[in-house]
């Protein structure tokens, strides 16, 4: 477990890892494209390692680039005729569902367990199944998982209208179009940075791509090229936002490198509203909180799937930060309806007073003085928020459940240590 105590204001510079949420669909896209792909800036967190294992199990060649531990080369399958059976590894991560299109391409069938990931509420796959049905595929479900069987080979454009801006379903539709070699028109798409990174990757592979807040469209190249392509995983916007909140909560100054400024724009806006001076300079986020005074303005942190909206994964870090900020602040996350039931009881162990107005909404009034206690990372973002809270809680905060934190961050505590946090790993 991790022990953390209050210390001096955080300062210095760190570089974020590649984004887990972008790396997972990009790895699945390498399999769907059926060409050799070199993917760089691949993070070393546990979920990404699990996806690499699944690709190998499905028959794809996966190798680290010599001398570059964060660069992976993925080669097409070796022509296995027997569809692979997936075990607990596929059930451990949510992103296993991105492998369906590639499995359909090679075997005509995909059989997978229900996806896992953070337990933050029901996040069904109904929209994924509607996407596959639009391509003529057949889906079957049972208590243990689901199967998708490829339909007859068809030609012509496929049109799908999503009832809400699902990131998973948007990526599933794109990868299914790649496998089928058919044009796609996707209505009401999700345009998060993770989806855009897949779009840009496909464009680099020769596909025509267009996207706005109403329609995302793909068109295959006239003659698909076969030469290898090189893609880059964008920097982790959530890790950058978490580190920015950590610096701000200690009233420090710091530079967070390796993240696109547009990807953290909603977080920057939230911090500025709280009176935290933040600049997004190209690929660096600069926080200058030393000697500043809060604005006393209330923050409304409402998770949204709309273009430019606040990513739900930013919300826990902001909640931990605002516990030390004056004002009454509102938080809402209807996208992940179980997240608050994970996070709020853990913060309450530190003495936080947070009022739940509904299962997906809460409010708190700051500043509050927290006291160190034993807490648990029940999911990735709860773990990172508790690290932030421990930076100012009196006494020692001990954080268990590190296996959850490491699913999303290869080593977030080490980055906090590099900024000057009083933090270390201890045995029970």
Residues 239-291 have pLDDT tens digits of: 999 999 999 999 999 999 999 999 999 999 999 999 999 999 889 999 999 98
- Cβ-contact 215, 189 below 8 angstroms: yes
246 and 184 in a single domain? The answer is no
192 and 265 in a single domain? The answer is no
Mean pLDDT by 10 residues, the chain (428 residues): 95 97 97 94 96 92 87 83 77 92 91 84 83 95 91 86 95 96 96 97 96 96 86 97 98 97 96 94 93 87 94 97 96 93 97 96 96 96 97 97 94 96 88
Tell me the residue range of the domain where 69 lies.
Answer: 20-232
273 and 401 in a single domain? The answer is yes
- Cβ-contact 96, 56 below 8 angstroms: no
7 and 97 in a single domain? The answer is no
361 and 242 in a single domain? The answer is yes
128 and 272 in a single domain? The answer is no
DSSP 314: G
CATH number, domain of 285, equals 3.65.10.10
Determine the Cα–Cα distance for residues 41 and 27; give it in Å rounded to an integer.
12
36 and 116 in a single domain? The answer is yes
β partners of residue 402: none
99 and 153 in a single domain? The answer is yes
209 and 255 in a single domain? The answer is no
Domain boundary residue, one of 197, 213, 232: 232
User: What pLDDT, on a 0 to 100 scale, did the predictor assign at position 79?
Assistant: 62
13 and 44 in a single domain? The answer is no
58 and 160 in a single domain? The answer is yes
Give 83's Cβ-side CA count (13 Å radius): 18
Determine the Cα–Cα distance for residues 368 and 70; give it in Å rounded to an integer.
41
Q: What per-residue string of b and e applies to 6-45 under the rule 16 or more CB within 10 Å gives b?
A: beebbeeebbbbbbbbbbbbbbbbbbbbbbbbbbebbbeb
Count other C-beta atoms under 10 Å from residue 83's C-beta.
Answer: 17
Number of domains in the chain: 2
* Helix or strand run (H / E) with residue 328: strand 327-332
Q: 73-127, pLDDT tens digit by residue?
A: 999 876 655 667 788 888 889 999 999 999 998 888 999 999 887 777 666 789 9
């Amino acid at each position: 477990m991790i022990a953390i105590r209050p210390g001096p204001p955080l300062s210095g510079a760190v570089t974020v890892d590649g984004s887990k949420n972008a790396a997972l669909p990009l790895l699945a896209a390498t399999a769907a494209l059926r060409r050799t792909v070199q993917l760089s800036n691949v993070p070393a967190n546990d979920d990404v390692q699990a996806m690499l294992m699944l690709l190998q199990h499905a028959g794809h060649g996966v190798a680290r680039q010599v001398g570059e531990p964060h660069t992976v080369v993925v080669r097409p399958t070796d022509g296995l005729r027997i569809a692979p059976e997936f075990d607990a590894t596929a059930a451990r991560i949510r992103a296993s569902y991105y492998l369906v299109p590639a499995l359909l391409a090679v075997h005509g069938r995909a059989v997978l367990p229900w996806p896992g990931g953070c337990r933050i509420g029901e996040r069904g796959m109904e929209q994924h199944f509607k996407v596959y049905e639009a391509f003529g595929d057949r889906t079957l479900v049972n208590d243990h998982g689901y199967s998708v069987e490829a339909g007859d080979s068809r030609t012509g454009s496929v049109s799908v209208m999503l009832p809400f801006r699902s990131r998973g379903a948007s990526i599933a539709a794109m990868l299914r179009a790649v496998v089928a070699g058919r044009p796609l028109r996707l209505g009401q798409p999700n345009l998060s940075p993770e989806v855009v990174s897949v779009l840009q990757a496909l464009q680099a592979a020769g596909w025509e791509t267009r996207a706005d807040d109403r329609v995302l469209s793909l068109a295959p190249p006239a003659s698909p090229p076969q030469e290898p392509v090189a893609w880059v995983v964008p920097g982790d916007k959530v890790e950058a936002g978490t580190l920015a909140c950590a610096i701000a909560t200690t009233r420090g100054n710091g530079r967070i490198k390796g993240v696109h400024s547009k990807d953290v724009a909603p977080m920057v806006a939230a911090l500025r509203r709280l009176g935290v001076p933040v600049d997004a300079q190209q690929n660096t986020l600069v926080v200058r909180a030393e000697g500043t005074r809060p604005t006393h303005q209330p923050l409304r942190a409402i998770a949204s799937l709309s273009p430019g909206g606040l990513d739900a994964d930013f919300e826990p870090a902001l909640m931990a930060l605002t516990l030390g900020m004056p004002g009454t602040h509102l938080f809402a996350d209807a996208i992940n309806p179980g997240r608050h039931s994970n996070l709020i009881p853990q913060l309450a162990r530190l003495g936080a007073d947070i009022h739940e107005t509904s299962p997906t909404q809460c409010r708190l009034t700051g500043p509050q003085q927290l006291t160190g206690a034993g807490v648990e990372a029940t999911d990735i973002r709860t773990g990172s928020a508790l690290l932030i809270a421990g930076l100012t809680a009196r006494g020692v905060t001990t954080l268990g459940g590190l296996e959850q934190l490491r699913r999303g961050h290869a080593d977030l505590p080490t980055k906090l240590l590099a900024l000057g946090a009083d933090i270390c790993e201890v045995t029970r």
